[in-house]
A and B are shown apart, each in its own frame.
Chain A
Amino acid sequence: MGSTNSTLSKIPNVEELVQETGFTPAHIVRLYDRFEALDKEKTGHLRPQDFGAINRLAINPIGDRIIGAFFSPGQETVDFHSFVRILAHFRPADKKRPKDPSMPEPVNSRTSKLKFAFQLYDQDKDGKISRAELLQVLRSMLEMQVTEEQLESIADRTIQEADLDTDDAISFEEFRKSLEKVNIDHKMSIRFLR
């Protein structure tokens, strides 16, 4: 506990983080250790290269998208707060949260998780997953194993299935609807981040 406390004191605005993300101080400490391990040059910020150093992330088909999600547009570095805030999306949802409409949506609710995933698809941030963006994702997931035409037909089929307002793109609502049967809470949570 002593080391935890000392680490805690190193992190600025811990209280705010705990409030905002719902992580316990123990978790924050664990994440801080990980942050420091990734931050090889001890600058207090992470750059894309630091993420790239994670080997397994390099072979992940959507690795670069995930890395990109950590960096807000225009920013070159990620500080600890943003790091934790992004990871907070993957906390298992709190079952007993009272439905208080005045409070902002907690960062690990089903909607927020879905929104995070949606943003990974929607790289140009226009609020829709266009056919081109979908194709890109499919291409990276299926790597070299399929032909362009197959990809295109799959993309067509996908959009057609999900697209309810026939604008040839998938909006967030349509995205959410197509995943209504999937238990997102289970699928997008990491047990460790409880």
Chain B
Amino acid sequence: MSVRVALHSPRGSRSFLERGLLLLVMLIFLEGTVLTLGAASSPDISAQDNTGGGDDQRGIEGRHGHANYTKKAFPVLSLDYRHIHVPFEISLWVLLASLMKLGFHLIPRLSSIVPESCLLIVVGLLVGGLIKLAGEEVPPVLDSNLFFLCLLPPIILDAGYFLPIRPFMENIGTILMFAVVGTLWNAFFVGGLLYAVCQIEGTYLSQVELLPCLLFGSIISAVDPVAVLAVFEEIHINELLHILVFGESLLNDAVTVVLYHLFEEYSDAGEVTPMDVVLGVICFLIVSLGGIAVGTIYGILAAFTSRFTSHTRVIEPLFVFVYSYMAYLSAEMFHLSGIMALIACGAVMRPYVEANISHKSHTTVKYFLKMWSSVSETLIFIFLGVATVAGPHAWNWTFVSVTVILCLVSRVIGVVGLTFIINKFRIVKLTTKDQFIVAYGGLRGAIAFSLGYLLDKDLFPMRTMFLTAIITEIFFTVFVQGMTIKPLVDLLAVKKKQEAKRSINEEIHTQFLDHLLTGIEDICGHYGHHHWKDKLNRFNKKYIKKCLIAGERYKEPQLIAFYHKMEFKQAIELVESGGGVKLPSAMPSQVSMQNIQPKKLPPAVAERALPQFTKGREEEIRKILRSNLQKTRQRLRSYNRHTLVADPFEDGWNDFILKKQRMIELEKKMSNYLTVPAAPPDSPTMCRARLASDPNAFYNIKASSDGVPTIQVDLASPQSPDSVNMLNEFSKRGATDQGLGQREGADRDEDQGLMMKPSSAGIEEKGEEGGGNKNPGLMRCLSDPGPSNEDEEDEPFLP
């Protein structure tokens, strides 16, 4: 898109570029000056107490001085930066991070060459440099507490919640091998060889003992999820490689935690006995399994809670976030692996929570997670830059260079060696190209730095040297490897991510094949992969889903949910892409109703009406949905932002019988529209504007519209009763009763289109159970038109 912009307006792009650069520079200066000011007025956050105390003292003095009060002019305007400086500075940093992100995308050429993470580190360096130039002390921004408790969890939660479970589980063996064995290998190789190097006479490093070296090795050997995410996001490699490297970066947290604590504990004693090693192994098992257990418990709790949230939709996303964060904190409390807890929590709760919460909440969760993780990531990189400028450095050529080289070497050897072993057990083997990418993608990041920062100065006199080496290694991996991985990926022609969406064919056939393979495994008497997966699925369906999913939805098979989602997405896409285009019926991605309709309509009408149907139909559905809200909206005289109107589809959809009359009226009106030419496709706001001036707009239920802003539907475009029939494919009657001529049928069809359970309309059912939960997925789909309506958020709209 940016290229097109450049092509169309070369002059524009140049000024754009200038503007972008100017913006960046200005921002950096601004940040620097304000932060300097902030630093000047209050040295750092920990000194807040002092300043607070100082304030108090001054306050008291002021009061004492009241006795001999000399009249001063009443301060009309005063500056009290100290009062707000902490939140202000935090907001300023966040603002800087976000503006940086904005800025980079204004300069397309830069962001295509240099990955964002590098640019952010540079910005951090600049800001830190500015602060230092101003003579102030750089705030310790990458404080370990801040990092581990505030900055890291959003990123990990985002990763865990949206973790693609299938490829992850399919490759779990490989991932675990890389994470556990690979990290151990890296740690010992780097630590051991570093110690050996340190012992060499000429390096003046002989005071560095074995255990600190091993500790350093364990800190630096862990692949960092933040860095991996940041870089791999931009290169779009295929799913397998992505999940391998990313999964490894997540799961090696347990190993790192154990090794870190082990070596830290025993570097005091100076030696590690075999007993300690055994304890270490046990500790590892406890840390990882315990972390997962904690995460699973919280995940189930969250899923269970979400079962009851149908009346309080506004706070649904909150449950997701709070439970996950608590899982992380609980795990950290016991020194278990917080990252694994977070991943387990997100992965466990997701299928159940998504079945329970409304679509709007789902969108909220998605966007909030993405937003927080994005800001966090940006902040982390900027802080890395600032911390580099700030921290005391002890540069030692030997140590640093040996570290960098050893890390690379050990990573390569580790990956190659492990792949050799792993390939014996894999069906789809890892090629050399894959191995190269896995090895090259092992980036180090802020976690290593924070762990190093945590080290006790007294126990580890060489802490500054370690920190310098860690930073150098991070810089090396992020800059050199991060920048070159994209061209290398292109050069080696590594398979890229497939962007296309899954088709329903794939979905059906994949499920079919799953069943087939399970059956074959049973015939062979082999308890393989499919056998266990099938067992888990059955267990899930039989027991777990019943507990954790609200209402009758747990019975909804995955295929149906998928199908509904697809149909709905397509409907929205069709509308948004503009209904003016005549859609050929042979297009495979058509919503099936498209094909059913034209066949039944007389050709003449079809010719003219077909282009308008899509948009009209969609609007019709929205109109129906909203008209069904009229009843509830009428009750809601005042706008209260804490209540979301109850969803008639999910609660009282029996009321749809009443809509029948409205449908009949609607039909009468719509027959007028058939000959009216279509309006060009608009945004919803335009629709609203047009409708407001359109007297023919179908909105006879205007009673409530006074106090409550209502969403208007664009009915200036021709509609027909058939537009309602989009719902018919979900309805009982199927495709048979469609057609303009069948008014009666259309009536009932529309009716059933709304009423998922036709029992009140007297249609025979086969063994229906429960009220209208035939298409629970659809009901939730339709009742919540989803993200495209976000610009109508200011109105009390049904979730």
Contacts and interface: CB of A to CB of B under 8 A. Distances in A.
A54 B524 contact: no
A24 interface: no
B559 A142 contact: yes
Given A54-B523, A190-B526, A192-B524, A154 B504 contact: yes
B520 A87 contact: yes
B417 interface: no
A62 B733 CA distance: 28
A92 B517 CA distance: 13
Nearest to A54: B522
Contacts of A63: 519
B757 to A, nearest CB: 11
Contact of A146 (B429, B498, B560): B560
Given A162-B588, A183-B428, A188-B517, A149 B733 contact: yes
B790 interface: no
Contact of A161 (B503, B559, B560): B503
Contact of A157 (B428, B555, B592): B592
B243 to A, nearest CB: 14
A160 B729 contact: no
B506 A181 contact: yes
Contact of A62 (B519, B590, B774): B519
Nearest to B424: A194
A18 interface: no
A145 B560 contact: yes
A57 B528 contact: no
Given A60-B515, A141-B511, A154-B559, A37 B520 contact: no
Given A147-B766, A179-B509, A152 B735 contact: yes
B516 A120 contact: yes
Contacts of A154: 504, 508, 559-560, 563
A9 interface: no
Given A145-B556, A190-B517, A87 B505 contact: no
Contact of B504 (A31, A95, A157, A183): A157
A161 B589 contact: yes
B67 interface: no
Given A145-B557, A146-B560, A188-B513, A57 B506 contact: no
Given A95-B429, A161-B503, A117 B520 contact: no
Contacts of B639: none
Contact of B522 (A60, A164, A166): A60
Given A56-B522, A178-B506, A187 B560 contact: no
Nearest to B240: A183
A31 to B, nearest CB: 7
A8 interface: no
B509 A160 contact: no
B555 A145 contact: yes
B517 A187 contact: yes
Nearest to B507: A158
A117 B513 contact: yes
Contacts of A193: 524
A173 interface: no
Contacts of B476: none
B427 interface: yes
B731 interface: yes
A34 B525 contact: yes
A191 B528 contact: yes
Interface in B690-745: 729-735
A192 B557 CA distance: 30
Given A145-B557, A145-B560, A160-B595, A90 B509 contact: no
Interface in B586-638: 586, 588-590, 592, 595-596
A153 interface: yes
A62 B525 contact: no
B398 interface: no
A158 B508 contact: yes
A11 interface: no
Residue among B427, B531, B590 facing the most chain A CB atoms (10 A cut-off): B427
A81 to B, nearest CB: 16
A138 B508 contact: yes
B500 A181 contact: yes
Interface extent on B, as a size class? 35 or more
A127 interface: no
Contacts of A133: none
A189 interface: yes
Interface string B424-453: 010111000000000000000000000000
Contacts of A152: 734-735
Contacts of A62: 512, 515-516, 519
Nearest to A193: B524
A39 interface: no
Contacts of A172: none
Contacts of B567: 157
B521 interface: yes
Contacts of B515: 60-62, 141
B364 to A, nearest CB: 29
B775 interface: yes
A132 interface: no
A149 B732 contact: yes
Residue among A121, A154, A185 facing the most chain B CB atoms (10 A cut-off): A154
B504 A158 contact: yes
A36 to B, nearest CB: 11
B109 interface: no
A150 interface: yes
A146 B513 contact: no
A186 interface: yes
A181 to B, nearest CB: 6
Interface string B88-105: 000000000000000000
Interface of A: 31, 34, 37-38, 51, 54, 56-57, 60-63, 66, 87, 90, 92, 95, 117, 120-121, 137-138, 141-150, 152-154, 156-158, 160-164, 166, 175, 178-179, 181-183, 185-193
28 contacts: A34-B524, A38-B523, A51-B523, A54-B523, A56-B531, A57-B519, A57-B523, A62-B515, A66-B516, A87-B523, A90-B520, A92-B427, A117-B509, A117-B516, A141-B508, A141-B512, A142-B557, A145-B555, A150-B774, A156-B735, A158-B505, A160-B590, A161-B504, A161-B588, A178-B509, A185-B428, A186-B427, A190-B530
Name the 5 nearest CB pairs between A and B, nearest first: A178-B505, A149-B734, A153-B729, A66-B519, A56-B522
Given A60-B519, A147-B766, 8 more contacts: A34-B523, A63-B519, A145-B555, A154-B563, A161-B505, A175-B509, A188-B517, A190-B530
